Amino acid sequence: MKIDVTDSASKWFQSEMGLSQGNGVRFYGKVYGKTPVHEGFSLALTRDDQPGETYTKTEKDGITYFVDEDDRWFFVGFDLKVDFNPEKDPENVVYTYTPNGDLDK
The pLDDT tens digits for 72-95 are 988 999 999 999 988 877 678 989
CATH number at residue 75: 2.60.300.12
Query: Residue 104 domain-assigned?
Result: no
pTM of the model: 0.90
Residue 9's identity, in one-letter code, is: A
Total number of domains constituting the chain: 1
* Residue 33 clears pLDDT 70, i.e. is over it: no
In angstroms and rounded to an integer, the radius of gyration of the C-alpha atoms of the chain is 13
Query: Residue 23 domain-assigned?
Result: yes
Query: Residue 105 domain-assigned?
Result: no
* Residue 8 clears pLDDT 90, i.e. is over it: yes
Query: Residue 10 domain-assigned?
Result: yes
How many other C-beta atoms lie within 10 A of the C-beta of residue 49? 12
59 — pLDDT class (breaks 50, 70, 90): very high
Domain of residue 12: give its range: 3-99
Could you give the CA distance from residue 94 to residue 105 in angstroms, rounded to a whole number?
Answer: 28
Comparison of pLDDT for 55 and 103, the residue scoring more:
55
Query: Residue 48 domain-assigned?
Result: yes
43 with 81: CB under 8 angstroms? no
